[in-house]
Structure 1
Amino acid sequence: MTAPSGSPRASAGAFAAPTSASSAPSVSAASGPVPTLRRIGTSALAVYPIALSGTVFGWTTDGPTTTAILDRFAELGGSFIDTADSYAGGRSEIMIGNWMRARGNRDQVTIATKIGKSADNPGLSARAVERAVDASLQRLRVSHIDLLYLHIDDETVPYDETLLAVDELIRDGRVRYFGGSHHTGNRLLEARIASGQLGVAPMVAVQNHYNLVHRSEYEGDLARIAAQLELGVMPRFALAGGFLTGKYRSRADLERFRRGGDAAPHLSRHGLRLLHTMDRIANDTGTSVTTVGLSWLLSRPRIVAPVVSVSSADQLDDVMAAPVTSLGRHELTELDRVSA
């Protein structure tokens, strides 16, 4: 794996998560340290510790750019791709499916997708779940989805109905495992209790908002319950809309870049103080602000793979350096303090 310029402190097993039971390295076409795969909760899925988000595919990135991003991700050893049936009206899934078919690499890729928000099959009724999954399978051009997320917490539908529908998909091989997104800790507990009572497959993962400038939502009850239920955690918005790349330092920066609005809430005295600390740590480790932010996430308990979106292939070098960049205890403590 090619790291960004500089000489990051790296080790092949950097940040091996407590839930990781796999010692098999991912395969990289590039030389360099290779991270240990991490197991998703109690599942048999062992994945590369960065999930490439398909949120921009077919929306702000065109076909050639998307293909270049996916090719570079695979070249650097990446194999875990995250999308949703609602991303770009399904075009994200189509583009990922076409890429896998063209490269003939389905067996080397772990595919996660989400259902519940699409215009064609909204909600999580039994009918919507089955129809949404079948539509995703067609767009992705695959026979099964490795990890299916419930993209919403649909309280208009009894948990029993949704869980039974997902379990049927798991039993017939269309889905391997599933998890939640936008779920509170209490709702995750309710789902586990219902799964036990029904005798159906439980959730193994949760995807939620978590990064250095957005900590409280996850680090309270949700973190405790994720540990209690042995869920693998995939933080979304891992780079805070680009703010944790260091690209946005002023209001002028927000105006200069098309998607700067996602970073705007963090452009404050507190946010800039955090970036200053990250600048210094990046300089000390020979990495980048992006790498530092993701490395901090990967040091947290139960974190399997931050979900990261990029708009160009060259941005992946800093992203993919994170799993093989080991931050010291003092650096992690300092980031904890300044981001609190």
Structure 2
Amino acid sequence: MKQIGDLDVFPLCLGGNVFGWTAGKERSFEILDAYAAAGGNFVDTADSYMASAPGNRGGESETIIGEWTETRGNRDDVVIATKVGRHPERRGLAPANIRAAADDSLRRLRTDRIDLYYTHYDDPSVPIEDIMTTLHELVTAGKVRQIGVSNIEPDRLQKSLEFAEREGTTPYTAIQPHYNLVSRDTYEGPRRDLAERYGLAAVPYYGLASGFLTGKYRPGANVDSVRSERAAAHLETERGRRVLAALDLVAEEQGTAVATVALAWLAARPTVAAPIASARTLDQLPPLIEVARTTLTEDQLRRLTEASE
């Protein structure tokens, strides 16, 4: 297990962005059951998932996760992370909106507390002190255990961390950045420096670069995925082809899947507690789970790192 504040989490966080979208309720339950059976306990969602899907309003993923924990009776065994700020009816980080959105999420999740509550996107129109104070109120009220931050500029992140330290409010314990083998500067640099300085645990999203780092995108391949255009674009870059070649070699050496190696590299990076990856079918799950049992050699890590530069 890895540590985020006082939360013990499995080293692979299961992404809930597909629940209520490309995975319906029954399929989502199957995936969650299989993840839990393999020892997984860390599930990521957001109040806005999946508002963009036809017929959805937002919150469908939270609702599915809440129904699953209720029917399985395993709420105390699962660390649930969700986010605030992007639901169509609860946009932004104004204090009243954060409070209302948290209550909405608690109802959908059928629980009395959110284990890890992220600000999904920063809202520069709201002063840092208002955001941090409101999140602190949720923690002291017992509605939230730990707080985290996702998409935010380094200067606003630093001011938030300094405010919590100076005023004694609840500090961020986690950061959720866009980070993977073909997107490193989205985290490495000022954001990671701040995470190291303040002890934030990183829980990267797009850990598999929309599926590109699974290895299924090859020249001439036709992949059935709503993300195929974004993922396949990496094949057009020298960096993408170089990374894929290095992943193939390391996967062969390890006797494991390309996706497992890509996530294992990410899991070994400084500050990373657990990369996020999602599965819309049961057969996509085992290579993700395997990262918990995979340790790359120093030479393998070096080759992957060099290929991704």
TM-score (norm 1): 0.86
Kept after mapping to 2: 8 A contact 1:249/1:272 = no
Deviation track 1:243-266 (CA, whole Å, cap 9, x = no partner) reads 000011125435x43320230331
Equivalences for 1:69-80 in 2 at 5 Å?
A: 69-80=31-42
Match of 1:155 among 116, 124, 139: 124
Partner of residue 188, structure 2: 219
Corresponding residue for 1:87?
49
- Supply the distance in 1 between the matched residues of 2:169 and 2:239 (Cα, whole angstroms): 45
Answer whether contact 2:13 2:277 (CA < 8 A) is retained: yes
Amino acid at match of 1:64: E
* Alignment check: 8 A CA contact 1:247 1:253 kept: no
Amino acid aligned to 1:50: L
Q: Which amino acid aligns with 2:244?
A: L
Rounded Cα–Cα distance in structure 2 between residues aligned with 1:211 and 1:97: 29
C-alpha distance 65-173 of structure 1, shift in aligned 2 (>3 A): same
Take 1:101 and 1:309, find their aligned partners in 2: how far apart are those partners?
21
User: Match of 1:49, as an amino acid?
Assistant: P
- Of structures 1 and 2, the one with the larger relative CO (CA 8 A, separation 6+) is 1
SS in 1 for 2:265: helix
Q: How many residues align?
A: 301
Partner residue of 2:149?
180
State the shift of 1:56 in Å. Answer: 0.9
Distance 2:285 2:227 in 1: 18
Taking the TM superposition and a 5 Å limit, the aligned residue runs for 1:136-215 are: 136-215=105-184
Q: Do the aligned partners of 2:128 and 2:156 also contact (CA within 8 Å) in 1?
A: no
Q: Matches of 1:266 and 1:219 in 2, distance apart?
A: 19
Question: Which amino acid in the other structure matches residue 108 of structure 1?
Answer: D
Amino acid at match of 2:176: Q
Q: How does 1:97-108 map to 2 (within 5 A)?
A: 97-108=66-77
Specify which of 24, 28, 33 is matched with residue 62 of structure 1.
24
Root mean square deviation, CA, Å: 1.2
Asked if 1:38 corresponds to 2:6, the answer is: no
Q: Give the Å deviation of 1:192.
A: 1.2
* 2:220 paired with 1:258: no
User: What is the alpha-carbon distance in structure 1 between the residues aligned to residue 306 and residue 33 of structure 2?
Assistant: 38
Distance in 2 between residues matched to 1:275 and 1:199, nearest whole Å: 46
Report if aligned partners of 2:65, 2:109 keep a CA contact under 8 Å in 1: yes
**Matched-pair contact (CA < 8 Å) for 1:153–1:182:** yes
Give distance in 1, aligned partners of 2:230 and 2:109: 28
Q: Deviations over 1:106-138 (max 9, x none)?
A: 010000000000111111011000000000000
Among candidates 285, 306, 309, match of residue 337 of structure 1: 306
Residue 320 (1) aligns with residue 294 (2): no
Unaligned runs of 5+ in 1: 1-36
For 2:175 and 2:239, locate their aligned partners in 1 and report how far apart those are by CA, in whole Å.
28
1:257 and 1:307 mapped to 2: Cα distance? 18
Instruction: Report Cα offsets for 1:206-227 as digits up to 9, x if no partner.
Output: 0010000001121111111110
AA aligned to 1:224 is D
Give aligned-pair identity as a percent. 42
* 1:127 match: secondary structure: helix
Query: Structure 2 unaligned runs (5+)?
Result: 51-57
Cα offsets for 1:266-319 (capped at 9, x unmatched): 112331222122111111111010010000011111100101111112211111
1:131-158, CA deviations, whole angstroms, 9 ceiling, x for partnerless residues? 0000000000000000000001100011
Identify the match of residue 280 of structure 1 among 249, 252, 262: 249
